[in-house]
Amino acid sequence: MGKGPLSGVRVIELAGIGPGPFAAMLLADLGADVVRVDRASSAARGKDPVPADFLGRGKRSIAVDLKNERGREVVLRMVERSDVLIEGFRPGVTERLGIGPDACLARNPALVYGRMTGWGQEGPLSRSAGHDIGYIAVTGALHAIGRAGGPPQVPLNLLGDFAGGSMYLVVGVLSALLEARASGRGQVVDAAIVDGTSHLSTFIHSFLAGGMWRDERGVNLLDTGAPWYDVYETADGGHVVVGALEPQFYAEFLQRLGLADAGLPDRDDPATWPELRERFAAAFKSRTRDEWAEIFLPGDACVAPVLSLREAAEHPYNTAREVFVERGGHRQPAPAPRFSRTSTEIGGLPPAPGADSRDVLAELGFDDVDDLLSGGAVTQA
């Protein structure tokens, strides 16, 4: 169990992929005691072939046969001793397994039951399969990302799965947990990636409604339409980004770029943007990425080098703040945010599925551990 602000909170995670495990990892980073319920078949295979499963950090594992009546009873007994349950199956799956919200809340009325899906628990697409790229497509967010005249650009699965999905699930779970502490009653949290991603775009929708945004790619202030909010190639084939929105930052940007006295046209006239972009591009091609980084950082010009994933872990800013830490022989992002009175910590790689089954059952007060292990309802790796 961690030492963070959620110390003392017990979370059951029904094992899945993507946003659900990330949400549970975040709760573990914050100090919650997270027990991952793996499939018994996973324990039978041994550790799943994931070289470095960072999303499993800080968790313990118990392998349960959810199709076994006694296995379902194990989960329900765990629910009686827990504060939160997180699942990411398609709508109706946990109900068919006998561990849906009604069954769990009957055992523990104060439980927060967090559900993570792409399309939501209800609606015409709720029973359809999907992945991040499809979810963000129907929100309008994917349409807005990319350069003018080009196709939409996929923002990995950061925008949908983890920002629109995991983070909204965590916000919902923590909000419901806070309310349950006051009312004594839990509730179901329906977190859908389409809902969260759409909510994330509220700021852009306000611009669109106010006539300050065109519903097309690469022609607006924040989508590379403006030449002072864009990405530029450097002499060595690297790249730097410019985000000099405010006038004072733009002035410093021009000064450090060497164009303060170059007689540039007025940036407030969109007709001048092609010329400005051409002048900026030519200037950045005169030096390498790292040379520009030395010129611009630290400072208020809002220019930064584009780092690779491996480079980011070694960047002086990130090392100074310990943004990345090494655990289990692997470099990985450190917990965030940080707190003034409580500390967070992470372990190394997670145990194999079911590795902690016996210990978890014993700690939860099960008096029939050997019987459950021998009967196949629970598997020990």
Q: Which amino acid is at 167?
A: M
Q: Where are any strands of DSSP class E within the chain?
A: 10-14, 33-39, 59-64, 84-87, 112-117, 187-192, 229-233, 239-243, 303-305, 324-327, 330-333, 378-379
Q: Give the 3-state secondary structure of residue 233.
A: strand
Of 179, 296, 310, 305, the C-alpha closest to 239 is 305
Of 170, 174, 132, the C-alpha closest to 26 is 170
Q: Are 260 and 308 in contact (CB under 8 A)?
A: no
Distance of CA 322 to the CA centre of its chain: 19
User: Is 161 among the residues known to form the active site?
Assistant: yes
Which of 33, 161, 195, 223 is catalytic? The answer is: 161
Q: Where are any strands of DSSP class E within 140-213?
A: 187-192
Q: Which distant-in-sequence residues (6+ apart) come within 8 Å of 156 by Cβ?
A: none
Distance of CA 246 to the CA centre of its chain: 30
> What is the C-alpha radius of gyration for the chain, rounded to an integer number of angstroms?
25
Q: Are 120 and 192 in contact (CB under 8 A)?
A: yes
CA atoms within 13 A on the CB side of 120: 9
Q: Are 369 and 358 in contact (CB under 8 A)?
A: yes
Which of 48, 53, 131, 368 is catalytic? The answer is: 131
User: Is 330 among the residues known to form the active site?
Assistant: no
Q: Are 41 and 347 in contact (CB under 8 A)?
A: no
Query: Which active-site residues does the annotation give?
Result: 131, 161
